[in-house]
Structure 1
Amino acid sequence: MIEVFSWPTPNGHKVHILLEECGLPYRATAVDIGAGDQFQPDFLAISPNNKIPAITDPEGPDGEPISLFESGAILVYLAGKTGRFLPRGDRARYEVLQWLMFQMGGVGPMLGQNHHFRQYAPEKIAYAIERYTNEARRLYGVIDRRLAHSRWLGGDEYSIADIATWPWLRNWKNQGIELSDYPALERWFHAIEQRPAVQRGIQVLADRRKPITDERAREILFGSTQYQRR
């Protein structure tokens, strides 16, 4: 059974959703990032960047165990393991992978900064809020233009590119976005939202998450604890 070390965040939801879509047996182990679980030695042994999610699979390549960190790498691995949600043909495969990389390199980091400065920063910095709100709008526009000509991000079939991107857009209201401004994206968003596996995936560990309000959690997530050598 695959063990997923995770927390109910967009990056965690990616893996939860794909596991539900594939029907693979798994166990979700909570890594409470507000309590500092991500800095524990056992977790760092499989996720040296102290970020969720990470997985261990006792039946990895050639039947040998494997552990993986980085959500994009995990999605590619699980898609390869099951033969689902990543095309086999080279051209179609690269079409999906470029949009997966777009999420990993653009959507995730930029919307993460948007969340930080709009919701979590101890002081409201107008320049940062404007910068990352504008960048969110730009990225939504890129996705909308793509989906105006393609049913799914990677082409004709639902894929790990869609699974990776959708959780990051769930907080569109808090990102300063009006979803109706992006009609093709809105159609795609609701189509994914209605998938039973997606609905199950976003409930994984959902009862464990709580608003980040106490100063200790804020320090762990955003303060000097993050930058200690380990």
Structure 2
Amino acid sequence: MITVYTWTTPNGRKVPIMLEELGWPYEVRTVNLGQNEQHAPEFLQISPNNKIPALVDDEAEGGPLSIFESGAILTYLAEKSGRFLAPSGPERYKALEWLHWQIGSLGPMLGQLGYFAVRAQDKTPAAIERFTEEGARLLAVMEKQLAQHRYLAGEEYTIADIAAYPWTMAAASFLKDALAEAWKDKEAVRRWLKDVGERPAVQRGMGVPKV
């Protein structure tokens, strides 16, 4: 059995989406970030960086395997299943390229924007401006790519799309006021959001965990 440790954040949605796409059974363990459950000693043994998501595969080759970091988990599941990531060649590296772009750029920058522009009680104009500009720049990067290709890594749906979708949805909803100007000319990104969002597995995964 696969056990997923997660919460209701963009990062937390990625692994359930992937597992729903695969149609594999899995168990969900909630890690309530608002109650600091990510600092519990038992969770730290699985995810030493205090972050969700994390995964434990009791049926992994060689015995139970725990993995933290969403990109590592998505890559593991893709390789284990043989789906959503080419086994070799340019298609594989394009998918990994955009997966790491999401992990290293889109997620962190939008996360900072969410904190400074929405959640922080004391607003810091310089920080809000900085992360608004970077969020807009990253949406423009997506727009250019998706204007040329159906999906982020090309013409096939991959783990790069699974990783990017929850964060792009956050940019279109939770951060829509901060990024209002940036959304005005993002027709290709909107088309991609619609296409990915209509996948039944994505709809189910975006509802996990149920709290």
- Bin the TM-score by the shorter chain: over 0.9
- Would you say 1:193 and 2:192 are equivalent positions? no
Q: What is residue 53 of structure 1 aligned with on the other side?
A: 53
Mapping for residues 81-230 of structure 1, pairs under 5 Å:
81-171=80-170, 172-175=172-175, 176-178=178-180, 179-206=183-210, 208=211
- Contact 2:21–2:201 (8 Å) recurs in 1: yes
Q: What is residue 217 of structure 1 aligned with on the other side?
A: none
Identity, % of aligned positions: 50
SS at match of 1:5: strand
Alignment length, in residue pairs?
A: 206
Q: Aligned equivalents of 1:124 and 1:55: distance in 2?
A: 35
- Contact 2:3–2:26 (8 Å) recurs in 1: yes
Deviations 1:100-129 (A, max 9, x none): 000000001100001001111121111111
- Would you say 1:39 and 2:39 are equivalent positions? yes
What is the TM-score when the length of structure 2 is the normalising length? 0.94
- Contact 2:112–2:131 (8 Å) recurs in 1: yes
1:180, distance to aligned residue in structure 2 (A): 4.3
Which letter does structure 2 place at the counterpart of 1:13? R
Structure 1 segments, 4+ long, off by >3 Å, are: none
What is the TM-score when the length of structure 1 is the normalising length? 0.87
CA RMSD in angstroms, aligned pairs only: 1.1
1:41, distance to aligned residue in structure 2 (A): 0.7
SS at match of 2:35: coil
- Contact 1:96–1:161 (8 Å) recurs in 2: yes
Structure 1: where are the runs of 5+ without partners? 209-230
Deviations 1:27-55 (A, max 9, x none): 01100011111111110001000000101
Deviations 1:164-193 (A, max 9, x none): 001001122432234442111111011011
